[in-house]
Chain A
Amino acid sequence: MTILAVKNLRVMFKTEHGEIAAVDDVSFDLKQGEVLGIVGESGSGKSVSALAVMGLLPKPPARIAQGEVWFEGENLLHYTDRDMRRIRGPGIGMVFQEPMTSLNPVFTIGDQLMETVRVHQKVGPKAQRDRAIEMLARVGIAMPERRIDDYPHQLSGGMRQRVMIAMALICNPRLLIADEPTTALDVTIQQQILELLLDLRDEFKMAIMIITHNMGVVAEMADRVIVMYAGKIVEQAPVNELFARPVHPYTRGLLDSIPSLDDDRDRLKTIPGTLPRPWALPPGCRFQPRCAFRVDACAAAVPPLVSVRAEHESACIRQDELVAS
């Protein structure tokens, strides 16, 4: 069953260079219990897409120019602010990148957990506190009944991210959006947090949309992957398919730049060049200036996302040749 369907989403931002499309005609969907990975560099539009789903874009400068966001059969873009508040928390939970700054420094973590329960459920203070302690225990915080009265600065980064996850899940959302949940953490902690998310997915039967620039995280977590470049989806496929048979030159570049142990190359391959500035996009395919497979026709038109094989789509005019190679 499809839980989230984003259709033709276009998000515009006002900048000093005029209005730019941070997300341009993006569509994807997410089934119950599925983990969708969205990969891309910073500035590729992946976080903006997530915030658009949550209705948390700063407006202005942002504006949703077109598209639909269907969550459990309702178009969230038609929701009022009030309706959206009922979705945030019990419908969709969100975990952010920076655990150090995402918790309010002047309130205890217990207070911040309990207020989430209080707003969405009619339960007394005792039940709120029990629920908060239960969630803290569930995300692996030792002695939760003591930790609950701590202030955020008294916790380590990894623990704060656990608290953030507890807070996002405390109202049993059907969808969890995790925006770079491990980027700010140590490598060992990263692993623990990812495992925790997968366990919780199984336990709560929720869908997860995980946003990352890290192909390793995708490989570990995702069932299906969307690759974004400069505001557009360039490829989407089930995770095994994508790693085994990547089509788009950008995806190939990303996969080539993952270091691996059984690799004796001296240097990692990197993609030459940088992400284009959104107010100065190249003509045609946005990746073509950096692409090793570039032909003149690439600059002619923006290539549409077309099917490569079942459940695998890519946006490259030379993809038939690339699949064959």
Chain B
Amino acid sequence: MGRVILNRILGSIPVILIVTLITFGLMRAIPGDVSAALGGVSSTLAERELIRKNLGLDQPWHVQLVKWYSGMARGDLGRSIFLGKDVTQATFERLPVTVSLSIYALVLTLIFGMITGVLAALRQNTWVDQASMMFAMVGVSMPNFWIGLMMIVFFSVQLGWLPTGGYVPFFQDPWGWLRSTTMPAVSLALLQIGLLARITRSTMLEVLRQDYIRTARAKGLPNYLVVCKHALANTMIPVVTVIGIIVSLLISGAVVTESVFSIPGVGQLLTSAILNRDYPMIQGGLLFVTLLLVAINILVDVAYAWLDPRVRFEGG
């Protein structure tokens, strides 16, 4: 088990190295020159030189690279031009908002995705199955920002039930938090619910065909034990591996959803950085989120190893 974790962490080092290199290269790959893009067409050469100097782009690239990594070691991912703040600081300020929204959406995904998938598998080839899979197909096909907009039109503008946007921190007003995050979380979760329902269904069908399910029935176990214990425990194992993908989709989906619902999270930080051409912010934010996801994926793999006794007690 310890070896599994260690291997996983060591294995992700090259990935992290290349990820940081790619992000480093990103801002330097701007066609023409970043100073021209930032300063505008009318900017003078001197102004552009100043911008380059401020961003450290006037130095030779190997110096820039050393600075990039030494900064990263100190948790410094650069400085936002527009906000006048460190990227790390700005991101950390916004992080709780995105995390609370993502956790809400993840909870919705796990509950509804698993239930839909399990029900569809247990009632295979009935109307329950077909309706569930139709719902899942619609879920994976609808653009989440569009669902969000349509929900605003319907629930906020037409019915006036929920606010059109904004964010209330959970610890300040839980009810207000729920009102402000329910539509974003639902629109964000829909894709993942569809995805998870489809995966849960096919895994569950596979599991239900296994010999040990027949054994459980042959022992005279009641149906609920066969399904909820023997089948579900084995279905969970592959489903856990998908959670990493789901979290990744949730976080990238949150970028768009936050912009739709004017929620001041990391996603909105990034989208406003795009509009303001705040390249250091885009670069740093992208790296921050990606490293966060790499870490989450390591955790997921550890959870997977722990769930499956064949891995947990590797070597007997």
| Cβ contacts under 8 Å, B309 to chain A | 105-106, 151, 153
Starting from the known contacts A56-B218, A104-B215, A115-B219, 20 additional A-B residue pairs (CB-CB under 8 Å) come to A85-B220, A87-B220, A96-B214, A96-B215, A101-B210, A104-B212, A105-B308, A105-B310, A106-B307, A116-B219, A116-B221, A119-B219, A119-B222, A119-B225, A151-B309, A153-B313, A154-B316, A164-B215, A167-B215, A167-B219
A88–B220 CB distance below 8 A:
yes
- A86-B234 Cα distance, complex, nearest whole Å: 25
B230 within 8 Å of A by Cβ? yes
B286 within 8 Å of A by Cβ? no
| Cβ contacts under 8 Å, A154 to chain B | 313, 316
Would you list which residues of chain B between 218 and 272 have a CB under 8 Å from chain A? 218-223, 225, 229-230, 233-234, 237
| Between-chain CB contacts (< 8 Å), 30 pairs | A54-B218, A85-B220, A85-B222, A86-B220, A87-B220, A88-B219, A89-B219, A93-B218, A96-B215, A101-B210, A101-B211, A102-B214, A102-B215, A104-B215, A104-B233, A105-B212, A105-B234, A105-B310, A106-B234, A106-B307, A107-B229, A115-B219, A119-B219, A119-B220, A119-B221, A119-B225, A153-B310, A164-B215, A167-B215, A168-B218
CB nearest neighbor in A for B209: A58
B294 within 8 Å of A by Cβ? no
Report whether over half of chain B's contact residues are helix, strand or loop; otherwise say mixed: helix
When each residue 150-167 of chain A gets 1 if its CB lies under 8 Å from chain B and 0 otherwise, what string results? Answer: 010110000000001001
In the complex, which of the residues B216, B220, B223 contacts A104, with contact meaning CB atoms closer than 8 Å? B216
A211 within 8 Å of B by Cβ? no
- A167-B216 Cα distance, complex, nearest whole Å: 10
B67 within 8 Å of A by Cβ? no
When each residue 299-316 of chain B gets 1 if its CB lies under 8 Å from chain A and 0 otherwise, what string results? Answer: 000000001111001001
B217–A88 CB distance below 8 A:
yes
| Cβ contacts under 8 Å, B229 to chain A | 107, 115
- A222-B69 Cα distance, complex, nearest whole Å: 76
A94 within 8 Å of B by Cβ? yes
Would you list which residues of chain A between 63 and 93 have a CB under 8 Å from chain B? 81, 84-90, 93
Q: How far does the Cβ of A43 sit from chain B's closest Cβ, in whole Å?
A: 19
Q: How far does the Cβ of B312 sit from chain A's closest Cβ, in whole Å?
A: 9
| Cβ contacts under 8 Å, B223 to chain A | 81
A94–B218 CB distance below 8 A:
yes
A138 within 8 Å of B by Cβ? no
A120 within 8 Å of B by Cβ? yes
In the complex, which of the residues A101, A115, A153 contacts B212, with contact meaning CB atoms closer than 8 Å? A101
| Cβ contacts under 8 Å, B233 to chain A | 104, 106-107
| Cβ contacts under 8 Å, A105 to chain B | 212, 234, 308-310
CB nearest neighbor in A for B219: A116
Q: How far does the Cβ of B127 sit from chain A's closest Cβ, in whole Å?
A: 16
Interface size on A, residues (CB 8 A): 32
| Cβ contacts under 8 Å, A104 to chain B | 212, 215-216, 230, 233-234
A285 within 8 Å of B by Cβ? no
CB nearest neighbor in B for A97: B211
When each residue 101-124 of chain A gets 1 if its CB lies under 8 Å from chain B and 0 otherwise, what string results? Answer: 111111100000001100110000
A98 within 8 Å of B by Cβ? yes
Q: A116 and B220 in contact (CB under 8 A), knowing A106-B309, A154-B313?
A: yes
| Cβ contacts under 8 Å, A153 to chain B | 309-310, 313
Q: How large is the interface on B (under 10, 10 to 19, 20 to 34, 35 or more residues)?
A: 20 to 34
CB nearest neighbor in A for B223: A81
Q: A98 and B218 in contact (CB under 8 A), knowing A106-B308, A107-B233?
A: no
- A103-B212 Cα distance, complex, nearest whole Å: 5
Q: How far does the Cβ of B209 sit from chain A's closest Cβ, in whole Å?
A: 9
| Cβ contacts under 8 Å, B219 to chain A | 88-89, 115-116, 119, 167-168
Among the interface residues A89, A106, A167, which one has the most CB atoms of the partner chain B within 10 A? A106
- A98-B216 Cα distance, complex, nearest whole Å: 14
- A20-B170 Cα distance, complex, nearest whole Å: 63
B217–A56 CB distance below 8 A:
yes
Among the interface residues A93, A98, A105, which one has the most CB atoms of the partner chain B within 10 A? A105
- A89-B233 Cα distance, complex, nearest whole Å: 23
| Cβ contacts under 8 Å, A56 to chain B | 214, 217-218
| Cβ contacts under 8 Å, A54 to chain B | 218
Top 4 nearest A-B pairs (CB, nearest first) are: A88-B220, A89-B220, A104-B212, A101-B211
Q: How far does the Cβ of B135 sit from chain A's closest Cβ, in whole Å?
A: 25
Q: How far does the Cβ of B228 sit from chain A's closest Cβ, in whole Å?
A: 12
| Cβ contacts under 8 Å, B310 to chain A | 105, 151, 153
In the complex, which of the residues A88, A101, A120 contacts B218, with contact meaning CB atoms closer than 8 Å? A88
Q: How far does the Cβ of A282 sit from chain B's closest Cβ, in whole Å?
A: 32
When each residue 276-304 of chain B gets 1 if its CB lies under 8 Å from chain A and 0 otherwise, what string results? Answer: 00000000000000000000000000000
- A93-B210 Cα distance, complex, nearest whole Å: 19
- A54-B216 Cα distance, complex, nearest whole Å: 12
Would you list which residues of chain A between 31 and 62 have a CB under 8 Å from chain B? 54, 56
Among the interface residues A56, A87, A104, A107, which one has the most CB atoms of the partner chain B within 10 A? A104
